[in-house]
Amino acid sequence: MPKKIILSISLVFILTNCIGQLHVNRYVNPFIGTIFEGNAYPGATLPFGLVQLSPDNGLTEKDKYEGYCSGYSYTKNVIKGFSHTHLSGTGRPALGDISVLPMAGESPSISDIRSDISHKEESASPGYYSVTLKSFGIKAELTTT
């Protein structure tokens, strides 16, 4: 009998926590801090997550000195890949390892690997990021758990 009570109470706490997170998530805007010197990235990440999946614009050295240290800036309309590790607010470029970019059609030259994007077709929430890669007609969706 006590096992059933403990199980029931545990289930109530788990469901309450999940519903509470869904309620709060709609107020989160992962794009805050992705312009100018916010040094933030909008990608899929969760607390204690193993990876921080996020897009990279392929920024130049000049961009890095102007505050785009996370690898992504909302002011750019191009994505060069999605890398698996990012840091927000470091004040200097870091990580950006293991970059991938889904492609379809003919392979571009190494220097031309990138895709145009529209911010109207880009969305993010805690643990989720999606964007349409216009150059390849692919909707990329990233998630973490």
Domain count of the fold of the chain: 1
Is 5 a domain residue?
A: no
Is 115 a domain residue?
A: yes
CB 80 within 8 A of CB 69: no
Is 101 a domain residue?
A: yes
Residue 15 banded pLDDT, cuts 50, 70, 90:
low
Is 23 a domain residue?
A: no
Boundaries of domain holding 85: 29-143
For the cut 60, the answer to whether the pLDDT of residue 127 exceeds it is yes
Is 48 a domain residue?
A: yes
> pTM of this prediction?
0.73
Kindly report the CATH number assigned to the domain that includes residue 137: 2.70.98.10
Query: What percent of the chain lies above the pLDDT cut of 90?
Result: 19
Strands 128-133 and 138-143: antiparallel
Average pLDDT of every residue of the chain: 77
Is 78 a domain residue?
A: yes
Is 137 a domain residue?
A: yes
**Mean per-residue pLDDT for 47-72?**
72
Please, what sign has the CA dihedral across residues 108, 34, 82, 28? Answer: negative
pLDDT given for residue 16 in this prediction: 56
For the cut 90, the answer to whether the pLDDT of residue 96 exceeds it is no
Return the higher-pLDDT residue of 114 and 19: 114
CB 136 within 8 A of CB 102: yes
Is 13 a domain residue?
A: no
Please, what sign has the CA dihedral across residues 44, 120, 40, 63? Answer: positive
pLDDT given for residue 126 in this prediction: 83
Return the higher-pLDDT residue of 145 and 66: 145
pLDDT given for residue 98 in this prediction: 77
Contacts 24+ apart (CB under 8 A), 85-94: 85/51, 85/52, 86/41, 86/43, 86/45, 86/52, 86/54, 87/52, 88/33, 88/39, 88/40, 88/41, 89/33, 89/38, 89/39, 89/40, 90/39, 91/39, 92/64, 93/64, 93/69, 94/69
